[in-house]
Each structure stands twice: as C-alpha cells, then as structure tokens.
Structure 1
Amino acid sequence: MAFSLQIDAHSEIGLVRNNNQDSAYVSPHLIVVADGMGGAAAGDLASAVAIRELQRADEQNLAPNASESGPLVGDQMLEALGGALAKANDALSDLVGWDHSLEGMGTTVCGAMFDGEHYGICHIGDSRGYLLRDGQLTRLTHDHSWVQSLIDSGKITVDEAAKHPHRSLLLKVLNGQPVHTPDFKLVDAKLGDRVLFCSDGLCGMVDDDVILKLLSADKPLDSIVRSLTQAAHQGGGLDNITLIVADVVDYDEALQAVPPQVLGAAEAMKIPEVDFSEPIDLSEIIEDTTRVPRGLPVADAAAIDEKLPDGVIDPDRFEAIRYTPHIASRRRRWIGWVLTILAILALLTAGLFGGRAYLESQHFIGPDEAHVAIYRGIPEQVFGHPLSRLTETSEILVDDLPPYYAARVQNQELRYDSEHAAQTQLEVLGEMAERCKAERAATVPAETPAPQTPGAETSADSASPEPPTDGQSGTTAPQSPNSVARSESPTSSASPNRPDLEACG
C-alpha cells in the first residue's frame, strides 16, 4: 500500500552565525538537509551544490519519460541518490580547481527519497535523521564524528561525548574527495511514522529525549517545527538551524501535487559555471596555506589521552576551514606530490601569521574571579600558554546569573566570531543577572515575628505559624539545567516571556 508524506520544514541563521550555510529541499518524494561549512561564501556554496544535484535527481525521477516502470522504488532510489551525491562531489572538486580560495569547503548531507513504502536514506557528516514510530524515537543515521567513533569503541559514554572537547570533529564529509563515501540504506515505512531530518544546529543543541517529547506532541506539523526551533534557541542557537518534519499518511493526491521547495542557502545561491577548457597554470594552483589548520593544540589531545586521526579539524576554532583540505582532485591528482612539498614549506612561514590573525578575531565570555568577563582568543592552551587574553571585566557576578548561563560562563562555552557579538551577549547576561537578583530578593522569607511578652497565653498553634502547604509556598526548588531542558514543555517559562533556561532557580 502506498503512502504520502505531509511535510513542514524550516531553515534559519540561528542566534550567533553571520549567515546561513545550511540548505534543504523538500518534495513529495525527497526530503534532505545539507549543512555547509568552509567560511565566507564556501559553506553555503557547498550545501547549495549538494541540494542542486539532489533536486535534479528528484526532478528526473518524476519526469514523464523518466522510466517506463514509473518513479524509482526500493534500491533504485539508493542508486539515484548515490549518483546525485557523486555528481555533487565532482562539482565541488571542479569548483575548488576553478577557485582555489574554496579549498576546504564541504557539506553534510542527510535525507531520504520516498517511494510510498520505503525511505531511501542517504547520509554523510553529523546531520541526523530520526524516526518516531509507536512512541519510540530511533536514529536513522550514524554520526560520522570523532566522538561517535569513541562511543562505538567503548572509550567514552554518550553523556561524556556531549561534553567532549572534540565533539565537533568530523571524519567524513562531502568535499570533493573520493575517500569520503556516504552511507545508504533502505528502511520500510509505516503509516503513522514521523521522521525528522536536521542539521546539528538542532540535534547539537537539543537532547534526544527533548526531541522525542516535542516530536510526540499532538500538534500541527508547523507548530512542532516551531517548538523544535525554539528548543534549539534555548540550547544556545549557536549554529544555523535547519529541520524537516514529515508524517507518513494515507495516499493523498493533493499531497503528491505539492510543489517542491528549496530552503536556506540554496534558495538564493547562484552556483558558478566552471570551465576547464583553458589549460591549468601550475603556478596558480599553490594553496592558500593560511586556510590550513596548524593542528590541534597538543594540550587538548594529551589531556584526554587519545590520538586524533589525520584529516580532522575542530570547527569551533577553525570554522572557516571545518574540513581538512586535500590538494589532490580528479583533475589535479598528477601534481599532488608537488603541492604537498610546497604546502609543507609554506606552512612553516605562514602558520604563525595565520594563527595569530584567527586568534585576534575570536572572543569568548568566561569568569574573571567572581565576575563575568570578555576574552579575546580561544579558551585553550598550548604547552601551558593560554591562547587568550582578558579584554573587559564587567560588574556582573557569575552567581547572579541563571544557573544554566552561570555554568556556560564558568565552562567558557559562549564563543563568538566578533567583539560586537560578545558585547551584545554580555548585555543580555547583565539583564538576566538584574532580573534574577530582583526575583531572588523577592523570595527571601519574611522576618520572624517578635516573641510574645511574658505572661501572655500561648498555644502550640499560635506560637509556631504553620508552614505553607503545597501550592502555597512563595518559593520554588531550584532546578538544574538538565532538569529544565527536560521539562514538560521546553517553551514554557518561569515567567510568561522567558524560556526555562533563563529561570533563576
């Protein structure tokens, strides 16, 4: 029996980023997200390229003369997806060969083609697919990340992975290199299924149990999408947020006729046409080595006693080059050894200047003794030397903040790409602190009444006022950030206009 998909989707910049590098595509037969990265215009270009090729595959699948047997089904969908991603990978390689400043760009891809009875899943990177069926939430995809590999090998737990210093490292990505191959699988669909595909701007900010609670709500799809987006905001909104939620319903001609929609970067991105008809000048292919990372700080790796594999980069510190660039491509493989030697020599001279420029552009909020402060640089050390310096100490006390934000300040988790963004967040923290001080002062117990004069008749009832019963107390028990994040409704608040994560406790 064939089913249809009822779909709602959303893509946005988030609360911190300067532009949206996510892209998405939805149609009655294909739903997919792509999380691009690479800095400047490279990330949005990479995700747009992936979406373009997948959109073409979807259009070819539905073309009247596409196949005598009708639209693709079963394993045919996986073959079509594999072909589309291979074309996208080739296109990325061609673009880098055409414009070497794009070296290092890449994109995740996560989504499914739907034939009415099966999901044809394609996946590479750390974007995720979820399936909600009969009240149970399962992942349709397996993260291609460093921490996931540690979980798989039993070296760390899921809870430890959430706080791991290298939780953002990725092992596989669509970036023009043939060594990074996507995952494909076929999953049976069932009436009543609800599927979610999202970038890590959602799943990296919101725990799975909260996602389960919000996905399970008996609400219209657009309301569920809004709730998930709000939860990502409450988690910090540190990245672009893109998500697609789809319900499997009885076959509906109206749903089958819904026009496709492109979201995010791919909606407006004009992909350059690449022309290799002109001969390649070897002297122009030398890589801009200021974009290549100098490696992870030794102190970080030593602290957790683990050896990082070659070819991974921490996007939190090198967002402009989230994936390690590889010089060789199908059009330039013959000069790979020459460029490798040149790159090594250039790194020795360019590394110092490129690293310093990056550190000068980064800011984070952390503690300066009891106060909230802004630092320039990153909260890391190399051989015991800090990679940051204090630039401003505010009058805000860390203890005056809501518990959730106090912890984030103490852990130096509030990181920004500009001083203006850090200053803006500092002002927000100041407002939170003032509000919490006022709320906490209002809940201080009233002063104990003076004792009665000697000789006055007293009774047990009058001498000791009864404590308020449940529901009468003027105070509430403090909640940990985890308990707040797992509250019945992540969009509820201690006051009508404030999310739970800002509760003063």
Structure 2
Amino acid sequence: MVLTLRYAALSDVGRVRKDNQDSGLASDYLLVVADGVGGAVRGDLASSTAVQALRRIARPAGEDLLEAMAGGFHRAHDKIAELVEGDPELEGTSTTITAALFDGERVVIGHLGDSRAYLFRDGEVSQLTTDHTFVQSLIDEGRITEDEARTHPHRNLILRAVDAVHETDPDLFYVEVTAGDRLMLCSDGCSGVLDRARLADILGTGTPDFAAVELVRASLEAGSSDNVTAVVADVVETDAPHDAGPAPDTSAAASTGAMLVGAAADLPRTKAPRGLFRGHRAGDTGELEPVPGSEAATGRGLPFLGRRAEPAEDLDPEELRYAPRPPRRWAWLGRLALLALLVALVAGGLKIGYDWTQRQYFVAADGDDVAIFRGVSADVPGVELASVHEATDVRVDRLPEYRARQVRAGIDASDLDDARAIVTRLEQLVIECEPEPTDAPTDGPSPDPTARPGEGPTTGPTARPGRRTPGTTSPSAPTTTSSPSPTADALDDPCGEEAP
C-alpha cells in the first residue's frame, strides 16, 4: 500500500475586489497557494508567475525535497525579477507563497508571507505555518493573543514575501503524514475570517471538493473582503505504485488532472473574473466596484514599511493591501460615539458662550427711557442674548442729541458698576443741559438819571439762551468787566453737539 493525494482547489474574487490576485495549484505531488501584492502593479502576475515557477517541481522528486522546494522559491523570485526588468512599471509587485511537496511518504512545506497551511487529523486542526506579519511577532512576544490578533489594526501588515528585489529565505520543514490526514492551504481571505473551530467543522466533513467549496462560501459569508483561495488534499492509501499516479476516484481531480485556479488560470485576461458564488443565497459576490470612501476604495495600506502613501483615488484598491486598517467590527458604534462627542462639544461651547454673554452689561434705550441691559447687543434668530437688568427714570429725549444717539446705539460697560456710573453721568447731563426759564420781559430799563447822555443802562453779561453756562449761578449774577475768551465755553462742553 502506498500513499497518494486526492485534491481539489477553488478561488473566488470575493465580494469587494475587482481583480483576483490569488493563484492556486493542486496536483498529485504539489499544492500551492500564492496571494499577489501590488494592485496597480499587477499582483496577479506575481502570484501566477510564482505558481508556474513552482510547477516545475510538481513531479515525483528523486532529489531532496527541501532542496527542490527551495529551488522552486528561488526560481519564482528570478521569474518575477525578469518581469520587472522587462516592464519597470511592475516594480513593487510581490506575492506570498505557501506550498506543500509530497513524495508518497511525507510532505515538505515551503512558506513566505501570510497564506497558511493546516493539517486536519483525528478531528483536530493544527496550523503548520507561521505568518510573517507584524501581529504574529506580537503574538510570539506574548503581547497579544491569537484572538486579539484577528481584530488588531495592523493585522494585515506583511513583513516577508517573494519579490524582484530581496533574496528569498522561506521557511522549509517536513511534515509526516498518514492515511486519513487532510491538508489545507489557503490565502488570508479565508484564514483571516474563519477560526480553527470553524475550519475543523468544514474540514471534518465531505470530500475535498465539498470542503474547498464550503471554505470559500463560509469565508464570504463571514465577511471576507479579500480574494479567497482554498486547496484541499486528502492523504489516501492505494494499491497502485506511487509512480503510476493517483488511484481512480470521482473527485474533480479525476477528470481535470492538475488544477490551476485564480490568476494562474485566468491569465492572460482582459477583464475581471466573475465570482463563483454570484447569486448565491448568501449574497452577490461578483466583482463590485468599491464604494467611495470604503475600505476597498481607500485600500489597506502599503506593501512595505516606510513607503509613502499616494492619494487613494490614484491607486488600485489592492495596492495598499498590507498596511494597517482599523477593525470593522462595531464600526457603527464608534461612529455613533464620535457623533455624540461632537454634539456634546458643540453644546458645551454654546453653553459657555451664553454664560459669558450673561456677564456682560451695556446701557441702551428701552423704549423712551434709558436702561441697563445684561447680555450683548447682537441678533441671533431664536435666542435672546440681552434683557433689561435695571430700569431708570432718565428719558432719552432729554439728553443732548449726540448722547441720545450713543444710548440708542448702546454704550458698552466693563461691569454692572460701570454701567451704573454711565447712567449717573447721563442723569447729570439731563440736569446740566436742561433749558432754564428766563425772567419776564419789562417795558424797558428805567433810565438812570445820572447816566451820561448816549449811555444805555448798565447790565452784567448773561448766559446764553436756553441753558446755563458752567460756572454761573444765575442769569443775573454780576460778572467782572473783562471780556470772556472767545473759545472758553466751547471747551469740554457736555451739552455741545460734537460727534460721539
């Protein structure tokens, strides 16, 4: 009895991405999942090129499996470098690779990036590979748990991949397998949304074909926004010699042979592939255009640390795939909290502003009278910012004209005491500037019998009609015989008509 593989592979563009940049391969001896990075610089070319380069080792290997796998990774690096050299616009493209090479007894795993390999045995799932990501380094240091890593804002920041610049240094190791084992390779569009319990539930039932379809379907139902690729292979016993190939079965592989899926199967192409599950009961998963402002439209970051971001509208959604993004879970709650905070800030600002206005005072006209107002003299629709604080008996029409205009416009005060002092001054102006009654006229002055001919009656100077001149006591008070200065009564005249 010898061991062989029965396998199936499936890739779907998903519900958000416009292009499928995943590639997958399942064959008698080789399983591969590659997740391209690059977006506008064609991550689909990188992943499909890597799969085609590794396909050269998909045969019964007489050489050491580790050396064969390492050679496949180096060949993928060289092929991608040739692509970039021929077309400089492809600079920056890269791909993850997770591969399993089988020789009939054991499997060698090669791994770079965040695609994963799992082993399902005796009802339990174990993860064979370790992600080359930032959050995995935090897990290794004990700073976060695996569950916390699923919602970490930097969970998609990749640290290592196969590109045209850096020499490959993949993780390489053997895995002993037995009949009844099931191997599963997938892109992070699957492993990023399905936990181990769900993976075990799916891998524990049905054929490889059923498991591959269910893995993709369950990933999309769980909310995956990425391309989803799954390769499933059962290790089975057969009487046929290993060199004779797999035993007859009814799986998809029985009629198709080696299975290429995703970008490796679609290239060259001129348009995005249609989603496998279009019209499925779980929802439409075709190649929808990203919603403006959504995660797909703005991208998920930069493929390399330190690279400067470009405006989102100039980039393909996949180009920014591996940089930090915030968790989508409970996003509505965060928006609601932000809205409540903004409302509270605005309300608090309005309350502080209103309280400030109620500590201000000014003197203005309240109908025909002068009054002290509290607040500010401003018109805001629906809001009273000033009210009468103290009424007075001073009438506006008894003030000098320019003072009356000042009162009607409003006279600002520094505080309530200052406002009262202004009112006191206005009351004094009313007294000082109010016209006084004059004496009744007589038939004429009595002649002075001692006066010289031609001289009129002697009288003292009198105030100007209509008001008292400051410094006088009555209109008939005697004065000195010197003539008054022509500018004396024009200085600091509180009853004058100068502009305010």
Matched, 1:220 2:207: yes
TM, length-normalised to structure 1: 0.53
Shift of 1:136: 1.9
TM, length-normalised to structure 2: 0.54
Q: SS at the partner of 1:223? A: helix
Rounded to whole Å, the distance in 1 between the matches of 2:28 and 2:312 is 49
Q: Which amino acid aligns with 1:128?
A: R
Structure 1 unaligned spans of 5+: 62-70, 272-313, 327-346, 363-377, 381-403, 413-505
Say how many residue pairs are matched. 294
Rounded to whole Å, the distance in 2 between the matches of 1:182 and 1:360 is 28
Shift of 1:321: 4.9
Change in Cα spacing, 1:158 to 1:315, as seen in structure 2 (3 Å) is farther
Q: Which amino acid aligns with 1:162?
A: R
Rounded to whole Å, the distance in 2 between the matches of 1:315 and 1:252 is 50
Could you say which residue in structure 1 is the equivalent of 2:261? 263
Q: SS at the partner of 1:185? A: strand
Could you say which residue in structure 1 is the equivalent of 2:52? 52
Could you say which residue in structure 1 is the equivalent of 2:27? 27
Q: Which amino acid aligns with 1:266?
A: A
Please point out which of 109, 128, 137 is paired with 1:140.
128
- 1:77-106 per-residue CA deviation (whole Å, 9 max, x = no partner) reads 221111111011012122222222212111
Shift of 1:156: 1.2
Identity value in percent: 38
Could you say which residue in structure 2 is the equivalent of 1:239? 226
Matched, 1:229 2:185: no
Q: Which amino acid aligns with 1:236?
A: G
More helix by share: 1
Matched, 1:121 2:121: no
Q: SS at the partner of 1:255? A: coil
- 1:272-322 per-residue CA deviation (whole Å, 9 max, x = no partner) reads xxxxxxxxxxxxxxxxxxxxxxxxxxxxxxxxxxxxxxxxxx999655853
Matched, 1:76 2:74: no
Q: SS at the partner of 2:64? A: helix
Matches within 5 A, 1:148-163: 148-163=136-151
Rounded to whole Å, the distance in 1 between the matches of 2:203 and 2:331 is 27
Could you say which residue in structure 2 is the equivalent of 1:407? 330
Rounded to whole Å, the distance in 2 between the matches of 1:315 and 1:173 is 22
Q: SS at the partner of 1:81? A: helix
Rounded to whole Å, the distance in 2 between the matches of 1:320 and 1:156 is 22
Could you say which residue in structure 2 is the equivalent of 1:355? 311
Contact 1:103 1:325 in 2 (8 A): no
Contact 1:37 1:322 in 2 (8 A): yes
Could you say which residue in structure 1 is the equivalent of 2:173? 185
Change in Cα spacing, 1:98 to 1:188, as seen in structure 2 (3 Å) is same
Rounded to whole Å, the distance in 2 between the matches of 1:323 and 1:379 is 15
Change in Cα spacing, 1:124 to 1:252, as seen in structure 2 (3 Å) is farther
- 1:219-264 per-residue CA deviation (whole Å, 9 max, x = no partner) reads 2222222221221011113111100111111126462685212111
Q: SS at the partner of 1:242? A: strand
Shift of 1:209: 1.3
Q: Which amino acid aligns with 2:16?
A: V
Rounded to whole Å, the distance in 2 between the matches of 1:318 and 1:406 is 17
Shift of 1:2: 2.5
Rounded to whole Å, the distance in 2 between the matches of 1:227 and 1:360 is 29
Could you say which residue in structure 2 is the equivalent of 1:9? 9
Calculate the aligned-residue CA RMSD, in Å.
Answer: 3.2
Could you say which residue in structure 2 is the equivalent of 1:196? 184
Rounded to whole Å, the distance in 2 between the matches of 1:31 and 1:196 is 9
Matches within 5 A, 1:266-281: 266-270=264-268
Change in Cα spacing, 1:192 to 1:159, as seen in structure 2 (3 Å) is same
Change in Cα spacing, 1:379 to 1:24, as seen in structure 2 (3 Å) is closer
Quick check: 249-258 or 205-214, which moved more? 249-258
Rounded to whole Å, the distance in 2 between the matches of 1:147 and 1:227 is 27
Q: SS at the partner of 1:108? A: strand
Matched, 1:249 2:249: no
Which structure has the larger Rg?
A: 2
Q: Which amino acid aligns with 2:19?
A: N
Rounded to whole Å, the distance in 2 between the matches of 1:109 and 1:411 is 36
Rounded to whole Å, the distance in 2 between the matches of 1:325 and 1:91 is 26
Rounded to whole Å, the distance in 1 between the matches of 2:191 and 2:325 is 24
Change in Cα spacing, 1:154 to 1:317, as seen in structure 2 (3 Å) is farther
Rounded to whole Å, the distance in 2 between the matches of 1:405 and 1:138 is 27
Could you say which residue in structure 1 is the equivalent of 2:428? none
- 1:18-64 per-residue CA deviation (whole Å, 9 max, x = no partner) reads 01111011111111110112013611000011001111222xx3xxx
Rounded to whole Å, the distance in 2 between the matches of 1:243 and 1:131 is 13
Change in Cα spacing, 1:379 to 1:324, as seen in structure 2 (3 Å) is closer
Structure 2 unaligned spans of 5+: 249-253, 270-294, 319-323, 336-500
- 1:402-460 per-residue CA deviation (whole Å, 9 max, x = no partner) reads xx998354367xxxxxxxxxxxxxxxxxxxxxxxxxxxxxxxxxxxxxxxxxxxxxxxx
Q: Which amino acid aligns with 1:228?
A: L
Q: Which amino acid aligns with 1:225?
A: A
Rounded to whole Å, the distance in 2 between the matches of 1:18 and 1:202 is 17
Rounded to whole Å, the distance in 1 between the matches of 2:220 and 2:301 is 23
- 1:118-141 per-residue CA deviation (whole Å, 9 max, x = no partner) reads 011111100000001112211111
Could you say which residue in structure 2 is the equivalent of 1:99? 87
Change in Cα spacing, 1:116 to 1:360, as seen in structure 2 (3 Å) is closer
Rounded to whole Å, the distance in 2 between the matches of 1:156 and 1:228 is 27
- 1:459-487 per-residue CA deviation (whole Å, 9 max, x = no partner) reads xxxxxxxxxxxxxxxxxxxxxxxxxxxxx
Change in Cα spacing, 1:146 to 1:406, as seen in structure 2 (3 Å) is closer
Rounded to whole Å, the distance in 2 between the matches of 1:165 and 1:316 is 18
**Deviation beyond 6 Å, 4+ runs, structure 1:** 359-362
